[in-house]
Amino acid sequence: MIRLFSIAAGLVFTLVVMIAFGVGAYTAATEEVVKGPEKYFHLENKTPAGGWSFDGPLGRWDVAQLQRGLKVYDEVCSACHGLKFVAFRNLAEIGFDEGQVKNYAAAKQVPGIDPNTGEATTRAGLPTDYFPDPYPNDVAAAAANNNAIPPDLSLITKARKDGSNYVYSLLSGYGDPPAELAQQFPDFNTPPGLYFNRYFKYLNIAMPPQLTPGQVTYDDGTEATVEQMSADVAAFLTWTAEPKMQQRKQTGWAVIGFLLFATILAYLAKQQIWSAVKPKKAK
């Protein structure tokens, strides 16, 4: 009896699954897909004029660009975004000497503990400290940003598809909605507290435009256009996400060269070892 009941229950379960699958397949095949405005007006990421110096197997960091990108992050992005995986001493890798690293760190306030009272306080940074978070916790971050928590930027270019181009496009992609968008989608609007950006997947983004021409004064005299600042900070954030990329590429070429040499050596050794062995003639 129990066996018959189990078989019946199994058949009923199988039947229900098959019916659900059939209904789902029929609905997917016949239901008209409603395409929103992002389907037509969201643009693919763009690449800055001249491309990236670090692209390709022979790519190298443009140290001057990385330093400009740090300046943009420092004066614009750091008000809302942290770099919790980057230490001040890492700046030596982008051309800062020991004194510059110490001075840069000392100009920052990092969380600390008062040795006399044990209470939380702040202190001047040391080269071994990491970039501080601008907010004490996520609650404070959300309260200051219209309930949107700004992400940490240490790994942002690895966390987003086409990361370097994504950051560059997003920062330089703000503007007014095109007229044809309102014509095709009369219900579309940009709610208060959001901003239109054609490089953001959903078109409306919580982060307001951050860059304006001349906002940053570069030490090397480079003109601080929106596109230039966007490219510089995108390159800097690519470095924070993968600081050893250039060394990795150089190691890769060395490994390829060694394998090529070892292959040739093995072939010559094989020829030498088997040179005295004469193949048997077929009868």
Tens digits of residue pLDDT in 115-155:
778 788 888 999 999 999 999 899 999 998 888 899 999 99
pLDDT, residue 236, reads: 98
pLDDT, residue 182, reads: 87
Per the annotation, binding residues for heme c are 77, 80-81, 207
Residue 240 located in a structural domain: yes
Closest CA to 153 of 172, 144, 166: 166
* Core vs surface per residue 118-144: b (16+ CB within 10 A) or e: eeeeeeebebebbbbbebeeeeebeee
User: How many domains, in total, are found in the chain?
Assistant: 1
Residue 18 located in a structural domain: no
Per the annotation, binding residues are 77, 80-81, 207
Ranking 30-39, 56-65, 205-214 by mean pLDDT, the lowest is: 30-39
Give me the domain span that covers residue 186: 41-86+151-246
Residue 27 located in a structural domain: no
Neighbouring C-alpha atoms within 13 Å toward the C-beta of 143: 7
Measure the CA–CA gap between 101 and 275, rounded to whole angstroms: 62
Measure the CA–CA gap between 149 and 260, rounded to whole angstroms: 50
pLDDT, residue 282, reads: 61
Residue 49 located in a structural domain: yes
> What predicted TM-score, i.e. pTM, was given to this entire model?
0.82
The string of DSSP letters for 111-138 reads EEE-TTT--EEEEE--TTSBPPPSSSSH
Neighbours of 154 (CB within 10 A): 19
Residue 183 located in a structural domain: yes
Provide the 8-state DSSP code for 197: B
Residue 110 has pLDDT above 80, yes or no: yes
pLDDT, residue 26, reads: 63
pLDDT category of residue 30 using cuts at 50, 70 and 90: low
